[in-house]
Copies of this chain bind each other. A is one copy, B any other.
């Protein structure tokens, strides 16, 4: 499907990378992130620790890989999508939905991997930290793109706030996705996303009526 055209070397590299991700997700899920040493993981995949660190910058990164791939794909999309005359946040939200659909089109395993990645992230602070920092860096990149393409000034905080709202909505949707359904599907995720997106405009304005007392 996606290019057998790559040189053999590249394919091999991607294969070990994928093996590392899948094995890591399995081991971490089964026994917990810090109960699994990298030596074990590498032994399982039959790869040296040195090779692991040529593919991933840290132990946390291998667990966040599936979600990071999504954000990177989304960033590419937004770089080229038309932004004209519509609310920026709406455009971003639709790009997000499209990116999720596109990722999952590449194979059903993707959904399973994202689910495991998300569950690990919720249960393991250091993975969560890594993921959040990745989102933050990616948001900064998005922000630059938006500023440039929309001709906004450096002191205009709106694009960054919109991006953070997108990130917040995405994370809320992920949390909802993995906690409600026992075996969440792609459609469940898309539904969850649309629900959260629908609630987003109210976030800045809603008034809490304190219950009687």
- Which residues of A come within 8 Å of B, CB atoms? 82-89, 125-126, 128-130, 132-133, 136-137, 146, 149-152, 155-162, 164-165, 167-169, 171-172, 176, 195-196, 199-211
B164 and A164 contact, CB distance less than 8 A: yes
Question: Which of these, B87, B149, B161, B206, contacts A168 with CB under 8 Å?
Answer: B161
A158 and B88 contact, CB distance less than 8 A: no
B209 and A156 contact, CB distance less than 8 A: no
Question: Which of these, B84, B126, B165, B208, contacts A152 with CB under 8 Å?
Answer: B208
Known: A169-B161, A200-B161, A204-B162. A210 touches B133 (CB 8 A): no
A88 and B168 contact, CB distance less than 8 A: no
Q: How far is the CB of A176 from chain B (nearest CB, A)?
A: 8
Known: A150-B210, A172-B157. A162 touches B203 (CB 8 A): yes
Q: How far is the CB of A207 from chain B (nearest CB, A)?
A: 5
Q: List, in ascending order, chain B residues with CB within 8 A of A125's CB.
A: 133, 137
Complex Cα distance, B126 from A85, in Å, reads 38
Q: List, in ascending order, chain B residues with CB within 8 A of A206's CB.
A: 87-89, 158, 162
Question: Which of these, B137, B199, B210, B211, contacts A157 with CB under 8 Å?
Answer: B199
A208 and B146 contact, CB distance less than 8 A: yes
Known: A129-B132, A129-B133. A157 touches B207 (CB 8 A): no
Question: Which of these, B132, B133, B209, B211, contacts A85 with CB under 8 Å?
Answer: B209
A158 and B202 contact, CB distance less than 8 A: yes
Q: How far is the CB of A191 from chain B (nearest CB, A)?
A: 12
Complex Cα distance, B71 from A204, in Å, reads 20
**What are 7 A-B pairs at a CB distance below 8 A?**
A84-B210, A128-B133, A150-B208, A152-B208, A159-B208, A162-B203, A204-B204
Known A149-B210, A164-B168; 9 more pairs at CB < 8 Å:
A84-B209, A84-B210, A87-B205, A89-B206, A125-B137, A129-B130, A150-B210, A157-B195, A158-B206
